[in-house]
Structure 1
Amino acid sequence: MGARNLWDEIPETVPGAAVARQLGAGRYAFRTRTSAVSWWGSFMLLLVTAFCVMMFFVISGESEWTNAILFIILGACTFLGAIAVPLVARFRPVVWCAVFENGVVYQYGSQPPIAGAWDEITGCQRQATDLVRNGVTMSTTHSVYVQMPAGNFMVSGDTPDAQEISALIANSWVEIQNRIAEEDATVRMVELGALLETGGRVEFGPFTVSLAGLEHGGTVMDWKKISEVELMGSTVCVVVTGERKPVREPVAAVPDAVLFLTVSDALRQAARQTR
C-alpha cells in the first residue's frame, strides 16, 4: 500500500463535505491505493504458470508449429501484461480519508464522501497486524474501522501515514467519548447529590453509595477510612486504611463506572474535610 499526507491533491468533495458538516479545520489527509508491486506479483505468478504449461507441451513432443504458437502466445501475454498491469494499478480507485477538528471524511474513488462528527461515531476499532516470516516481522498493517449513521468505512496500510491516521481517528473518538461521559456524569452528580442529601442510597452493581459510607457485601465502609477509589486496568479498587487487601470488582460489573468513581471521590473528599 502507498500513502502520503497530501492536502494539495485531495478531491474538492472531501473538504467540501467537511465544510457542509462544519467539521472545522483540517488536521491530516491520507490516501491509499494498491501498489503496482502487488499487481506485478500476481501477473508474474500467472506468467510462470503459463510457462510451465508451455514446457509441458514441449516435453510431451508436440510439433514445432505447436511450440511456436505457444511461444508467440506467451510473448504476447507478457507484452500486454507489461502495459496493462501498471495502467490498472495507476487507475485503481483511490481511498481518501481526512481528519478534521470536529470529525472525519472518507471517500472511495468517485463515490460520495462519508462525513461525520466525532460524537456521531457509534463504534471505532483500531488494529495492528504483523506480517511475520521466519520469526522476523516484515511489515505491520495498521487499520481502523469506523461505524456511524452516514456509513461504515475502514482505512488501512503498512506505512507510517496509515499508523498516524489510525491513531488520530481512534484517539479523537475516545477523547470525545470521555468528554461526553464526564459531562453526563456532571449532570447526574447534581441529581445524585440532591438524592443523597435526603438520605437516599444509590446502587452501582455490587456497591451502594450513601452519605454514611460505601457498602459492599453487606459491609459499610466509612468514607473517612477510604483512601482510594480508582480504576486499575479493568478492575475497580477500593483501598481502605488499615485493611491489607483492597476491595476489587470487575469494571464490567459496575454500571456507570465513571459516575461511580466521580461520586465516590467527591464523598471521600468531603468526608476528609469534615474531620
Structure 2
Amino acid sequence: MRTFPQCLPCLMDQAVRNLQRLPESVHEPFLRRCLQFLAGADYRLSPPQLARTVFDLMEEYTGERDPYQEEKAFSNRFVSSMEEELRQLIMHSHDPFVTALKLAITGNIIDLGVNRDFSHHDLAEEIRRAIELPLSPEAIERLRQAVDHAQRILYLADNCGEIVFDKLFLEQLPEERITLAVRGEPVLNDVTPRDLAHLSLPPGLRLIDNGTNYPGTVLQFCSPEFLECWQQADLIIAKGQGNFETLEGENKHIFFLLKAKCTVVARFLGCNLGEPVIHEQVPE
C-alpha cells in the first residue's frame, strides 16, 4: 500500500511524540531532518518504509538501539500475567478456535506506532469485550478451512504483548506446520527474538526472524531464510496494520488479522475506524 497524503501528519506525529526521548537541544535539528526526508520521500513506498527512516533518525540522535525496550518488556509481562486465565476462557468456550482468534485480533491494539492513546487499562477493557467482536462468520470459516488444508503456514507476528495472544491462538493451530516470524531488529514495540526469551512458545513450531527493522514486512530487504519460508508457505497469517500496509497486493494467500487504526487503512479495507478485521487476499 502506497503512502497517502493523510499518512504524512501521522509520520510527523510519531517524530514529535518521540521528542521526550531526546535532549531539548536537538529537537529542532531532528524535526528538520524528518521534514526534509518526508518532503523528498517516494510516496509510492508504504508508510512503514518511510517510518523506518524516521526511527533510524531517532536512533542516530539518541544512540539507543531499542528505545522501547522497557515498554515491550512490560507489555509481555502484563499480558503474560493473564495468560492462564485467557487460556481457560478459550478452552471452556463454545468454539476455542474462534475465541482465540478474537483475542489475537484484540491484542493488536498494542501498537505504539499508530495507536498513540493506547494504555494497558484499554487492553483490559478490550479483553472483556473480545468475545463479542463483530467478525464475519464467513471470513472465520474461510480462515479455518485454509488452516486445515495448508501444509506450510507462515505466521507473521507484530507487537510485544500482542505476541502472548498470538501464542494462545497458535495453540489452536497445527503447530508442526507453522513457522512463526518476528522482526529481525528492534523497531517501535515490534517483537524480536530477544523479546521472546521469557515466553514459552508451542514446542512444535519453528521460529525465525525476517532480518529487518521495518515496522512491517518489506520482502525485498528480508533475509534469505525468511524468503525461503515465504516462498514455501501455502498460507500466510499476517498480524497488524504494518504487515497489511507492506504486503497488500502480494501474490500470496494471506489472511490479515488487524484492527483498522487509521482512516486511510479503514477506508482502504471498507471498514470503520477501530474495527477488527479478517481480510483475505487470494493469489491470482
Q: TM-score, normalised by structure 1?
A: 0.25
Structure number having the greater helix percentage: 2
Q: Which has the higher contact order (CA 8 A, sep 6+)?
A: 2
Structure number having the greater strand percentage: 1
